[in-house]
Amino acid sequence: MNNLNFTRIDDRLIHGQVCTAWLKSIPSIQHILVVDDKTAQDPFMGEMFALLIPEHISIEVRTIEEATQIMKAGLPKPTMMIVKVPDTIKQLIENGIDIDFVNIGGMGLTKGRKKLFQNISASDEERQIFKDLIAKGVKVEVQIIPAAKQVDVSKLL
């Protein structure tokens, strides 16, 4: 997809690693698209995210359906998309959005999840989503910070 420069799964969404390390490592990024149905319904979170990112980068927080429409219309600027869970990526692809790379940066240990790699955990359903994405040709990697080694998720499943 044109102008979708980086796609990240991170259950923290916008935080220090995204605002410092990742944005510096991908200087072409001009826009952040946060896709999460629940967060999109919370205007306060959108305002907080806007305060955390550099002024020269725009941000919007959208539902899966809204993001689908925005992306189908075409992203006007180089964009980093951040989602909380793998299912969001699955739904976007099912909605016709072309995503060829996914970075996993934060999936904490919660009920139903087991360790996948270091501090990254995934449920059986999430592991299946990763398998399905990989089978469709999507490159899925764990890389918590830019300085860390990229780990191919297909080797972890």
Domain ranges of the chain: 4-155
> How far apart are alpha carbons 149 and 151 in whole angstroms?
6
Is pLDDT above 90 for 2? Answer: no
> How far apart are alpha carbons 79 and 5 in whole angstroms?
6
> How far apart are alpha carbons 63 and 118 in whole angstroms?
30
Q: In the structure, what pLDDT confidence band is assigned to residue 138 with cuts at 50, 70 and 90?
A: very high
Which residue type occupies 136?
K
The pTM of this model reads 0.94
Q: In the structure, what pLDDT confidence band is assigned to residue 128 with cuts at 50, 70 and 90?
A: very high
Average pLDDT score over the chain: 94
How confident is the model at residue 1, as a pLDDT?
Answer: 66
Architecture of the 4-155 domain: 3-Layer(aba) Sandwich (3.40)
